[in-house]
Structure 1
């Protein structure tokens, strides 16, 4: 027995040592980085998550382009605006691929917009952009829906009578109703239990995708498929979302389509019919299902989280809130609904909204890319189909482009005369071919919701609370810590 144990231990040792040598040899063809360990790569170094601080510390040691290993899979990290710009803007076409992690591959089967690639991705993205334009993005259609939801949110918050509340659920439901109107063609009552469940499941799905067990699933799918954990709940939550969307599609199919389709589902069903005889068409029911899930999930989480940051930052910086109220009172003297164009007359508020997006940076490090052709970045030859992470956090906090990168400072977007000024390193939606498809919708929502709320209310800390925690909670997106607020009608 003792001899057999010794043989097994020796075998395991040489197996692990062989893996280590294999990784070291493979790493020679990649940019420098911390030495990967057998099986787990650099997961221990990363604390099993891609925290912005961890990536910034590694950049100080290894430079603006370095390699991390998730298990035995290499990921090239790009740090700082110049390096990221050179990749995703100067090499936009070559960097248009999306690596499909094992979890997302098993969940979405490569369908939809977010994790699809090649011809299918191009068709689905083109459809999404075209449909948003047809539904009125940049026109009166969607803007009117945002205005209605912003006003409904004002009425709900007024009913709280200034008592200390956690406003996050009210905000999430208001934003979710905007994207619901876009994809489903109708809004929901905030008291609708089905809608509440949908929003709850959507939030849980995103949380589970950012869990440590999800990262472990990507590295060891053969093992994690059989183990319990948040990654299993991700599959369950995705299936709930899919079943909800299937039912909405079924209702649309059973109802005569309007002469002018007024939501994403009707537009997509019409596109399936239109391209039915095209052998190159990727418009089908499976892609429709995932496109709607993608739009609802991303369209709810990102904007709602940014608005939660916005209110929290108004609590943390009452002097900035006071300046906002002063500009509003001087410029917007009528009671008409806020429009997206109003931001042009409100340079200080426009600067504050941009700074909220920069400082909060809910996308964190951003999303992975994959180069579809061989490219050269900062002198390194990167072979086709390499996983690449343009670290957006390093762009939005690059000290070469931001005077006080880790402080909330609207002056980043104001010139000496108080006029709004842009900054080339402002890339909260990323850039290039994989820029966020919902960027314009998000800009509309943030401006209209934020200005409407600040015109109606003053945000105060509850009695006895003197400090605000402006650090983040790392999930798939970066969330503010939970907080309560007293919302006082002006």
Structure 2
């Protein structure tokens, strides 16, 4: 009996332990499910109770903290228009646990983008993303007054003379890429367009803005480093920018290597080891610049500004150039119109593009304008509320616990301003055309510290933003993108692949809207006379 009892205990004890562990797991799972269910019930009940009449209506959501994040993140524009239909132009939704108040329309753009410094703040919103990517002491990692000085340094360097020198450099980079890249090998082929345009835009920007020696370092290793930096712009980093995630470690390594690389170039220039070729690049300009207090810009800040200029511009320019090419692929007739415009305006021998003759290509310019309208690079612009903000003409007062959100892309898709707004049609910008109903727009100008600029927030068309944080690269981007597309039109005919009838959808996983990949085109090189 003793042996039998021992055997029985030896078998039953592990079984009982397993049952006990399973029981605990079941209890834990039930408890967690009950907690979630209770949280959902309490969250819904709180929304059914009378709300504060001085705050904008709250968009219904089932789950606390998560709120409306998923529906907003999947496709912001349908989310905005659906909420606008139900709640009006002003409403609040929950974005990753934060009450985010949206104010749509031209009045909303004016209220948010031209808000006073005492009322709204961009630095506290974006520094979590930008500082690990760009580096310290620049952009949103410094007081606003210093940022305005930095913007002025850049703006005053982008003169007409500078732009005149940039056009042939951009043409050269595009044509060299076409000759050497496997993406365009042979007389015809099929290419994943966004990947190719990403290379073209970074090569043209680095060659023009940052000089020959920076451009010479752009190989596969450099491209990978910028890709690692790009991963720092994922929305999750609004919350987890500090976390030791693999993508954040890669981001930090890339930032360190790129910063050191720029520092080496700056120091070699200061030592006279790099010959002065009288080029109009930003590094040379910033090396001689001085802050208002008499302090020269530290080399480390120059290197960080170079990363910021290339990264911020690269996102918007790369996506916009891809959208231009993809929309034209769906309209080969407009590609031919662009080619014929160059023959008609510039001459049948197609002389080299220059700053002067490029500006005469009105349809080429309209393609860019229409692309920026329908595919505004940044769909949401955020500001932290610093003091309670009464909304003119309403009873609403936006409290300091809220974040403000402006979406110029929504205004650019409103029927009252742009008939058939979801249709890509460059001819809507033709003189006398009925495709744009801008109305009487009062142009106001203000100097925020880097020269007089148009505040422009009352316009329904704001692809480059407005107010003190309006993009200072607007003119360069227009020149770069317009020259790229004009050069591509000279070199190619292209279309969507057989069986593909519409342009790809939009990837909203980053702060910058871009085409879903892969996005293929079929191309054929033009015959040269």
TM-score (norm 2): 0.74
Cα gap change, 1:153 to 1:217, in 2 (>3 Å): same
| Alignment counterpart, residue 238 of structure 1, candidates 255, 265, 281 | 255
SS of corresponding position for 1:241: helix
Q: CA deviation at 1:256?
A: 5.9
Please give the residue correspondences for 1:247-396 in structure 2 after superposition, counting only pairs within 5 Å: 247-255=264-272, 258=276, 262-271=280-289, 274-275=290-291, 278=294, 283-333=297-347, 334-342=349-357, 344-363=359-378, 365-370=379-384, 375-378=389-392, 379=394, 380-383=396-399, 387-396=403-412
Q: Do the aligned residues in 2 keep the contact of 1:366 with 1:390 (CA within 8 Å)?
A: yes
Q: Do the aligned residues in 2 keep the contact of 1:94 with 1:371 (CA within 8 Å)?
A: yes
Residue 142 of structure 1: aligned partner: 166
Q: Distance in 2 between matches of 1:189 and 1:102?
A: 28
SS of corresponding position for 2:158: helix
Q: CA deviation at 1:381?
A: 2.7
Q: Distance in 1 between matches of 2:193 and 2:431?
A: 34
Please give the residue correspondences for 1:20-169 in structure 2 after superposition, counting only pairs within 5 Å: 28=52, 30-34=55-59, 40-42=65-67, 44-46=69-71, 51-89=76-114, 97-101=122-126, 103-104=128-129, 107=132, 111-113=137-139, 116-133=142-159, 136-138=161-163, 140-156=164-180, 159-169=185-195
Q: Do the aligned residues in 2 keep the contact of 1:112 with 1:289 (CA within 8 Å)?
A: no
Q: Distance in 2 between matches of 1:287 and 1:36?
A: 44
Q: Which has the larger radius of gyration?
A: 2
Cα gap change, 1:30 to 1:286, in 2 (>3 Å): farther
Q: Distance in 2 between matches of 1:42 and 1:149?
A: 46
Q: CA deviation at 1:455?
A: 2.5
Q: CA deviation at 1:105?
A: 6.4
Q: CA deviation at 1:399?
A: 1.5
Q: CA deviation at 1:386?
A: 5.4
Residue 444 of structure 1: aligned partner: 479
Q: Does 1:398 align with 2:414?
A: yes
Q: Do the aligned residues in 2 keep the contact of 1:209 with 1:231 (CA within 8 Å)?
A: no
Q: CA deviation at 1:426?
A: 2.0
CA deviation digits over 1:239-285, x for unaligned, max 9?
A: 443343333334334336859684323332323xx45974xx59434
Q: CA deviation at 1:477?
A: 1.9
Cα gap change, 1:341 to 1:259, in 2 (>3 Å): closer
Q: Does 1:489 align with 2:526?
A: yes
| Alignment counterpart, residue 203 of structure 1, candidates 227, 246, 251 | 227
Cα gap change, 1:87 to 1:453, in 2 (>3 Å): same
Greater shift, 163-172 or 478-487, is seen at: 163-172
Q: CA deviation at 1:69?
A: 3.1
Cα gap change, 1:90 to 1:367, in 2 (>3 Å): closer
Q: Distance in 1 between matches of 2:434 and 2:350?
A: 25
Q: Distance in 2 between matches of 1:52 and 1:320?
A: 27
Root-mean-square deviation (CA, aligned residues, Å) is 4.3
Q: Distance in 1 between matches of 2:500 and 2:43?
A: 52
Q: Distance in 2 between matches of 1:359 and 1:105?
A: 26
Q: Distance in 1 between matches of 2:494 and 2:293?
A: 57
Q: CA deviation at 1:293?
A: 1.0
Q: Does 1:179 align with 2:194?
A: no
Structure 1 segments unaligned to the other structure (5+ residues): none
Q: CA deviation at 1:454?
A: 1.0
Q: CA deviation at 1:403?
A: 0.5
CA deviation digits over 1:20-46, x for unaligned, max 9?
A: 79x989x84642222577862525454
Q: CA deviation at 1:446?
A: 1.4
Q: CA deviation at 1:441?
A: 0.4
Q: CA deviation at 1:397?
A: 0.8
Q: Do the aligned residues in 2 keep the contact of 1:324 with 1:348 (CA within 8 Å)?
A: yes
SS of corresponding position for 1:361: coil
Q: Do the aligned residues in 2 keep the contact of 1:362 with 1:478 (CA within 8 Å)?
A: yes
SS of corresponding position for 2:390: strand
Q: Distance in 2 between matches of 1:44 and 1:300?
A: 26
Q: Distance in 2 between matches of 1:37 and 1:477?
A: 28
Q: CA deviation at 1:439?
A: 0.6
Q: Do the aligned residues in 2 keep the contact of 1:315 with 1:468 (CA within 8 Å)?
A: no
